[in-house]
Structure 1
Amino acid sequence: MPNNLYENLEGSAINFPERIAYLYGDQYATYKELNEMVNKLAEGLTAQGISKGDGVALLLGNTPEFLIAYYGILRIGAFVVPINPLFTQDEISYILENSQAKAVIAHGSVEEKLSKVKKQLNNLKLVVYTEAEKQDWTWKQLMETSTNESVSPSVDQEDLAVILYTSGTTGKPKGAMLTHRNLASNADSISKLLELDHSDRVVAVLPMFHVFCMTVCLNAPIACGAAIVIQPKFSPGDVVNTIRERKATVFAGVPTMYNFMNQLPNATSEDFISIRVCISGGASIPIELLHNFENKFKVSILEGYGLSETAPLVSINPLKGTRKPGSIGLNIPAVTSKVVDQFGEELPRGEVGELIVQGPNVMKGYLGMPEATSLAFKDGWFYTGDLATMDEEGYIYIVDRKKDMIIVGGYNIYPREVEEVLYQHPAVVEAAVVGIPNEEYGESVKAFVVIKDEQYTEADIIQFCKVRLVKYKIPSYVEFFKELPKNSTGKILRRELRELTEVK
């Protein structure tokens, strides 16, 4: 394993100089060209006083500039702070202040928000826009700025590489500090488990500022000399066309993406003929959807599991060997996990408890939050907050988030088990379940669904559940939506649904 992530790019530039590193619309670059652009960016940042240990924030969508900036920042030993460009001014301001970022590289669309934020932050010294002409600094200027100084800082595995801000359910987001070792070890494991090599073409449509895309669709392919097929945003029809036209071999997505592609009436297995493997993560994929998608497109989906704090992959179903639908698979190499009770004692196989993790992928801690860090770590184990079971063969099954569990009259209900049933209904496209207050039983089950046939009523959905679920798990209420609220990766936000219920 390399000492730092940049060495992976440098190695591929040496071993595969003329192979395509990325494709973006009608643009492309070879590994030699990408490495040259990264070095230019590194020189430009150095000339502006950015050096090892400094933070540089990226407010960019899925573009070549993100890839170049990401590796250019790492090249000089600085750390990357990826931020969703759609965040509000307050959200951006908090992250820039908390991370003490000295520079920002941003898309022109966030200029108005950033110009206001910049006035409030003393730590922010440099703002560069990728698509703007009348600015102090533009991407073009930065790339043309050279320095006579050598840009060769010593960067080792334990140096900070990325700070990822996790969306907390309460309070401000926490900055998970990931080292070069965390991210490089995870990229190495993914490359081996998926058998990636320089002949692969990996679709990057997940947001690049999210760790799922960053590791599976950027760091892992770069380490192998594979081509990254950059998609600026997710549109089911566009993605299917890209897969077919670019002859993509690997696709990574969240369940919502698979759901939308599965709904396309004209898409067929011919569109996916070049795909050798699909990966699903970010949320549990309903078993019904998994089977329907695999049958329609004649591909295998490997469901995995990870968190921002674990860089992200913890486990995945094997490429060769037994795949177990509903399972997040087996631990990846060098990572250990176990299911424990409230006292941290390992539970017998098959029993539900909290999933805890150890390995080279686990973060250093939360930036400036010693209390939150000490709550997350106990005796060297990272506590995920996810409830899970493990079978006799070591396959892990996520039951639900600890905080999402619903308790009805003393009975524990995991939203996912009710959602699995709802997805079996022929008219249901999306479903999410939350607990709402009930004076008699403590909580009741409420379902939020999107349906493709409006003739179905609340009573129809409840009746469908009655023949498939024990009485206390049956939704008491069903509300129909045109679309369920989702985060930037397409993960359904139960938290927002709960808040909508509370408002009412």
Structure 2
Amino acid sequence: MDMPRGSQIPESLNPQGYSNIVDVFEKTCQAFSSKPAFTSFGRTLDYAELHQLADAFAVYLQRETDLKPGDRIAIQLPNLIQYPVVLFGALKAGLVIVNTNPLYTPREMEHQFKDSGAKALVIHKSMAHKAEKILANTDIKTVLLTQVGDLHGFVKRYLLNAAVKYLKKMEPDFYLPGALHLREALLKYVGQQPEPVRIQTADIAVLQYTGGTTGLSKGAILTHGNLISNMLQGVDVLDEAPSGCVETAIAPLPLYHIYAFTISLIIMGYGGHSVLIPNPRDIDGFVKELRKWKMTAFMGLNTLFIALCNHKDFPTLDFSQFKLTISGGCALTHKAADLWKESTGCEIMEGYGLTETSPVVSINRPGAIRLGTIGVPVAATDVAILDPEGRPVVEGMPGELCVKGPQVMVGYWQAERETAACFTDDGYFMTGDVAVREADGFLRIVDRAKDMILVSGFNVYPNEIEDVFCSHPAILECAAIGIPDEHSGEVVKLVAVARDEIPDVEELKAWSKERLTRYKIPKQIEFVDELPKTNVGKVLRRKLKEQQVNKEVA
């Protein structure tokens, strides 16, 4: 009889006997106490200091809040060293993490906070004005605020925080009575140890929100067992890489994203050092930061590889110790892979995964990289390629990629129907992506969920875009599709029918900025007389995509 998903870690992967993420954290900090763990804005935490600060946060949660094990805490931070402190401190107190995108609008924040039932929030001050608008509609009672420089020394802390607030004007005024500064909470209890909390392998560690197949985001339930399994599956892959491959790993992807989240755990498993990049869109600043390091590894995606390789100073960086590059989040193009290898001398290992699989399903292993594929399944993972009736396809033919393994989520939070709909009767998770399995086991994605738009590795779902724009008084109806973009893979295009007079497109985009995260805002808006539809009135997005292709060809 199969055990419930997420309740076990394969013994073959787990000689250390890890049972939960706190166990991983404790053993890692003990083994590598003097080694650097995370760096951001020039401040480095070694494993001993990270452990001490995480303990302090856990003590604060236990003594000064009414939060109990199993309660949810939302973390809405960019790539700062505060993130791992809060993450591991909250887990030590037995809480469930709700990773929240710092780019979210108040509308998106409210949905996620309410759906998860979050009772606490750790938020950067630059986003606090958004929280002010919606917290009264949620169950959140404990709010902790932080700024960029809060874990730096006095002079640098003052300068960094002042620069962000007054020079860059990135911290709008807000009013959150009762909110506490994270720095104060940590300083009050630094040096103290929290009360131990019994955490089972099957306990929920993270609610990781994803769009699934609908507009409203759903929380993928990831247990301690799910995340440790995927961490150990990653370690199994990197054991084949050159020694010291993650000694100094550049981490530009946001830790709230499941790809970066799990990669950071893998790096910790080796006692590696993650150099966090808070704003990878600032390519000049990014290259300047890279110049400080003899990097050994880089975790990125197609967009970043191209942007960096096109920077005039990138080829002048020190790649003498560079050993490993991993790509995920969106498809890797041959152009990006070739440019990267030419610039750095390092091949890119492309992998594939989803939020629902913690995330890694397959990867090109070191020394066995085949461009254009997503490699082979990671250890203890069974992949099936099924036809629409759920039957295995003939080898080499396309079908839906379905996955079974210890990294597969328990299900969606408080969404039994949606959970049941995405699993086969024999327990395979249906990814919605169409793949081909080659004779030697390599997998190749040939299509993906028919309507999803992938912008720089982020899932964008048309229903949400359409719901927002249909609320505008000038729009009668609309449909969102993805169109190719050389920088981000895809961008959103909105095709709309005006209610009366056609509104100004730039005004529409500006209006949507208050309602949608930046990467969800349409880059193109086109007005037409009518949308193509089925006999029952369903908009044919596929037809719109075909029309777009015909325009590009013409």
TM-score tier, shorter chain, comes to 0.7 to 0.9
- Change in Cα spacing, 1:191 to 1:236, as seen in structure 2 (3 Å) is farther
Amino acid at match of 1:159: D
Equivalent residues in 2 for 1:165-184 (5 A)?
Answer: 165-168=209-212, 170-184=214-228
Distance 2:132 2:316 in 1: 48
Greater shift in the superposed pair: 236-245 or 330-339: 236-245
Gaps of 5+ in 2: 1-13, 151-175, 455-461, 463-480, 488-516, 530-554
How far is the alpha carbon of 1:67 from its aligned partner? Answer: 0.9
Counterpart of 1:377? 423
Q: What does residue 420 of structure 1 align with? A: none
Picking from 442, 454, 465, the partner of 1:395 is: 442
User: Does 2:336 correspond to 1:306?
Assistant: no
1:97 aligns with 2:143: no
Q: Relative to structure 1, is the Cα distance of residues 18 and 448 closer, same or farther in structure 2, using a 3 angstrom cutoff?
A: closer
Query: 2: distance between equivalents of 1:198 and 1:51?
Result: 39
Please give the TM-score of this superposition, normalised by the length of structure 2. 0.72
1:44 and 1:144 in contact (8 A); partners too: no
Mark the runs of 5 or more structure 1 residues left unpaired by the alignment. Answer: 406-414, 417-433, 435-444, 452-489
1:188 matched to 2:232? The reply is yes
Q: Does 1:349 align with 2:395?
A: yes
Change (3 A) 1:287 1:92: same
Closer, same or farther: CA 4–226 of 1 in aligned 2, 3 Å = same
User: Is the 8 Å Cα contact of residues 76 and 101 (structure 2) preserved in structure 1?
Assistant: yes
Residues 244 and 271 of structure 1 are in contact (CA less than 8 Å); yes or no, is this contact kept in structure 2? Answer: yes
- Residue 139 in 1 paired to residue 185 in 2? no
Deviation string 1:426-458 (CA, Å, 9 cap, x unpaired) is xxxxxxxx9xxxxxxxxxx9965559xxxxxxx
C-alpha distance in structure 1 between counterparts of 2:372 and 2:486, whole Å: 22
Q: Provide TM-score, normalisation by structure 1.
A: 0.79
Trace 1:301-450 onto structure 2 (pairs within 5 A). Answer: 301-320=348-367, 322-378=368-424, 379-404=426-451, 448-449=484-485
User: What secondary structure sits across from 1:128 in the alignment?
Assistant: strand
Asked whether the 8 Å contact 2:352–2:374 carries over to 1, the reply is yes
AA aligned opposite 2:231: A
The 1-side partners of 2:482 and 2:204 are apart by 43
* Alignment CA distance shift 1:117-1:325 (3 Å): same
CA 1:502/1:294 → structure 2, altered by over 3 Å: closer, same or farther? farther
Q: Using a 3 Å threshold, how does the CA distance of structure 1 residues 135 and 203 change in structure 2: closer, same or farther? A: farther
Q: Write the letter of the residue equivalent to 1:193.
A: V
The offset of 1:199, in angstroms, is 6.4
Report the equivalent of 1:5.
21
Alignment of 1:136-285 (within 5 A): 136-146=179-189, 150-168=194-212, 170-195=214-239, 200-216=247-263, 218-234=264-280, 235-268=282-315, 270-285=317-332
| TM-superposed deviation, 1:181 | 0.8
SS of residue paired to 1:171: coil
Deviation at 1:144, TM superposition (A): 3.5
| 2:363/2:378 contact within 8 Å kept | yes
My pick for the range that moved more, 247-256 or 23-32, is: 23-32
**Sequence identity (%):** 29
User: Given the superposition, is the C-alpha separation of residues 266 and 237 from structure 1 closer, same or farther in structure 2, using an over 3 Å criterion?
Assistant: same
Residue 443 of structure 2 aligns to which amino acid in structure 1?
A: I
Is contact 2:322–2:344 with CA below 8 Å preserved after alignment?
no
Q: How far 1:116 sits from its partner (Å)?
A: 2.3
- Structure-2 change in CA distance of 1:94 and 1:159 (3 Å): same
Shifted more, 62-71 versus 14-23: the winner is 14-23
Q: How far off is 1:501 after superposition? A: 4.7
State the alpha-carbon separation in 2 of the partners of residues 260 and 83 from structure 1. Answer: 26
Pair 1:334–1:45, CA change in 2 (3 A): same
> Which amino acid is 2:369 matched to?
R
Task: Please tell me the residue identity of whatever aligns with 1:336.
Answer: D
Contact persistence 2:245–2:324 (CA under 8 A): no
CA contact (8 A) 2:386 2:401 kept: yes
| SS class of match (2:314) | coil
For 2:333, the equivalent position in structure 1 comes to 286
- Equivalent position amino acid for 1:155 in 2: I
SS of equivalent residue, structure 1 residue 389: strand
Q: Which amino acid aligns with 1:157?
A: T
Q: Deviation digits for residues 381-432 of structure 1, max 9, x if unmatched?
A: 0000001101011100011213159xxxxxxxxx99xxxxxxxxxxxxxxxx
The one of 48, 54, 72 equivalent to 1:38 is 54
Distance 1:396 1:44, change over 3 A: same
CA contact (8 A) 1:4 1:181 kept: yes
Q: In structure 1, how many angstroms separate the alpha carbons of the residues matched to 2:195 and 2:429?
A: 36
In 2: Cα distance, 1:126 partner to 1:155 partner? 23
Matched residue SS, 2:133: helix
Note if contact 2:74-2:100 (Cα within 8 Å) is conserved in structure 1: yes
In structure 2, how many angstroms separate the alpha carbons of the residues matched to 1:31 and 1:127?
26
In structure 2, do the counterparts of structure 1 residues 503 and 74 end up closer, same or farther at CA, with 3 Å as the change threshold? farther
What SS does the aligned partner of 1:377 have?
coil
Aligned to 1:106: 123
Alpha-carbon separation, structure 1, partners of 2:414 and 2:254: 26
1:165 partner letter: Y
Residue number in structure 2 paired with 1:468: none
Note if contact 2:351-2:360 (Cα within 8 Å) is conserved in structure 1.
yes
Could you tell me how far 1:134 is from its partner in structure 2? Answer: 8.0
- Confirm or deny: 8 A CA contact 2:55 2:194 kept in the other structure: no
How far, CA to CA, are the matches of 2:436 and 2:380 in structure 1?
Answer: 20
Per-residue displacement from partner, 1:237-288 (whole Å, max 9, x unpaired)? 4333433422121101111001111211332175333220101111111123
Superimposed CA distance per residue, residues 106-139 of structure 1 (whole angstroms, 9 cap, x where no aligned partner)? 0011211212222122x21201101399853110
**What RMSD in Å do the two structures reach over aligned CA positions?**
2.9
SS in 1 for 2:260: helix
Aligned twin of 2:525: 500
Q: How does 1:11-22 map to 2 (within 5 A)?
A: 11-22=27-38
Contact conserved, 1:197 with 1:225, CA < 8 A, in 2? no
| Structure 1 residue 88: Cα displacement | 0.8
Question: For the Cα contact (< 8 Å) 1:175–1:367, is it kept in 2?
Answer: yes
Residue 324 and residue 344 in structure 1: after superposition, are their counterparts in 2 closer, same or farther (change >3 A)?
Answer: same
CA distance in 1, matches of 2:279, 2:404: 34
8 Å Cα contact 2:87-2:97 kept in structure 1: yes
Quick check: 1:63 aligned with 2:109? no
Secondary structure, counterpart of 1:225 in structure 2: coil
Query: Higher RCO, 1 or 2 (CA under 8 Å, sep at least 6)?
Result: 2
Q: Is the 8 A contact 1:61 1:208 kept in 2?
A: yes
* SS at structure 2 position matched to 1:172: coil
Which residue is 2:40 aligned to? 24
Q: Which moved more, 1:301-310 or 1:245-254?
A: 245-254
Looking at structure 2, the residues matched to 252 and 199 of structure 1 have their Cα atoms a distance apart, in angstroms, of: 10
